[in-house]
């Protein structure tokens, strides 16, 4: 089960209240981007935040040379979460709400990848795993807050990647297999049911069962050239699903395979 600490919840509520006050009254000396203003950040703080994210990105790229294909897919999702946050700082600034939301998803991505990083620790990766774990912990301390729409985020992106994959494999056996699995309806159902956020007291068994179904496609998704667009999209799907698997693992025993309710 997923719990939010009182301290984390309090800090996040303070941040939300600040955004609401700024939106209503404006902030002298603040930064106005996309309709939401926030206080200016020191240029050194911005530089440090970007340097931390860039180092995470670089480490993920290096670690990919040491791990198997399935683990490369997971590293791709982790790396992309840092890249999106880095790009948001560049485009919007450190205090913009878009950037803050991406930080929360990035923090959650690393939080639920701690076991993964330990699993890929080896004599060749030990220092890198330690470093990226320390950077992630520091970012969490500096910018962490509860983010409760993890399931919604994961399966919304999974649907996007599956639609892209389906267009790339038109006329192929994989297209017919995807069409026969009722994925669109089930993805839509999971996305709709998770719109309100993840609850610490309930389990989204529809999402768990859909993960199991998508996992049966892994052998097909692993096929193809590493340089092809199909392979790149497939890696994104596998990476998202393996992240969800770790996130939902404490609840998985509650979801029986014969019932999604």
So what's the pLDDT on residue 183? 94
Nearest to residue 257, comparing CAs of 194, 218, 213?
213
At residue 24, the pLDDT reads 29
Residue with token string 């399931």: 151
Largest pairwise CA distance in the chain: 59
Residue 67 DSSP one-character state: S
Quote the pTM value.
0.61
For the chain, where are the E strands, in sequence order? 30-33, 36-39
pLDDT score of 187: 95
The rounded distance, in Å, linking the Cα atoms of 173 and 179 is: 10
Check: CB of residue 41 under 8 Å from CB of residue 94: yes
Would you state the pLDDT for residue 117?
95
Helix (H, G, I), strand (E, B) or coil at 10: helix
Three-state SS for 201? Answer: coil
Domain locations in the chain? 41-143, 150-252
Question: Which letter does DSSP use for residue 9 in this model?
Answer: H
Tell me the residue length of the chain: 261
Would residue 140 be called left, alpha or beta, if left means φ above 0 and alpha means ψ between -120 and 50 degrees?
alpha
**pLDDT value, residue 199:** 66
Confidence (pLDDT) at 35: 35
Q: Residue 6: what pLDDT? A: 35
261 residues of the chain, pLDDT tens digit each? 344 343 343 333 333 333 332 232 233 233 333 333 344 556 788 999 999 999 999 999 999 999 998 899 999 999 999 999 999 999 999 878 888 888 888 888 898 899 899 999 999 999 999 999 999 999 988 887 654 678 888 899 899 999 999 999 998 999 999 999 999 999 999 999 888 777 655 567 889 999 999 999 999 988 866 668 888 899 989 988 988 888 887 666 677 544 444
Please state which architecture CATH assigns to domain 41-143: Up-down Bundle (1.20)
Among residues 34, 21, 14, 23, the alpha carbon closest in space to that of 146 is found at 14
Do 19 and 36 meet the contact criterion of CB atoms below 8 Å apart? yes
Give the pLDDT score at 41: 55
Radius of gyration of the chain (CA): 19
pLDDT at 16: 34
Q: Kindly give, in sequence order, each residue whose CB lies less than 8 Å from that of residue 2, ignoring residues fewer than 6 positions away.
A: 148, 198, 200, 247
């Amino acid at each position: 089960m997923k719990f939010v600490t009182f301290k984390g919840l309090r800090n996040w509520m303070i941040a939300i209240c600040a955004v609401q006050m700024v939106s209503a009254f404006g902030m002298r000396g603040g930064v106005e981007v996309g309709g939401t203003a926030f206080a200016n950040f020191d240029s050194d703080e911005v530089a440090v935040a970007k340097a931390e994210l860039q180092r995470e990105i670089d480490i993920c790229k290096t670690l990919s040379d040491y791990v198997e294909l399935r683990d490369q897919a997971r590293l791709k999702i982790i790396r992309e979460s840092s890249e999106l946050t880095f790009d948001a700082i560049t485009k919007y600034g450190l205090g913009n709400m878009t950037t803050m939301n991406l930080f929360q998803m990035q923090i959650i991505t690393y939080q639920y990848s701690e076991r993964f990083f330990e699993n890929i620790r080896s004599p060749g990766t030990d220092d890198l795993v330690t470093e990226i774990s320390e950077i992630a912990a520091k970012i969490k301390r500096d910018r962490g807050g509860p983010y409760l729409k993890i399931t919604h985020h994961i399966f919304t992106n999974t649907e996007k990647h599956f639609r892209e994959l389906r267009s790339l494999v038109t006329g192929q056996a994989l297209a017919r297999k995807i069409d026969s699995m009722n994925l669109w309806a089930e993805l839509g159902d999971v996305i709709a049911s998770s719109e309100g956020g993840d609850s610490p007291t309930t389990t989204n068994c529809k999402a768990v069962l859909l993960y199991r179904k998508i996992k049966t496609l892994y052998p097909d998704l692993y096929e193809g050239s590493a340089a092809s667009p199909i392979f790149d999209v497939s890696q994104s799907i596998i990476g998202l699903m393996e992240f969800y698997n770790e996130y939902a693992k404490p609840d998985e025993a509650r979801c029986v395979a014969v019932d999604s309710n």
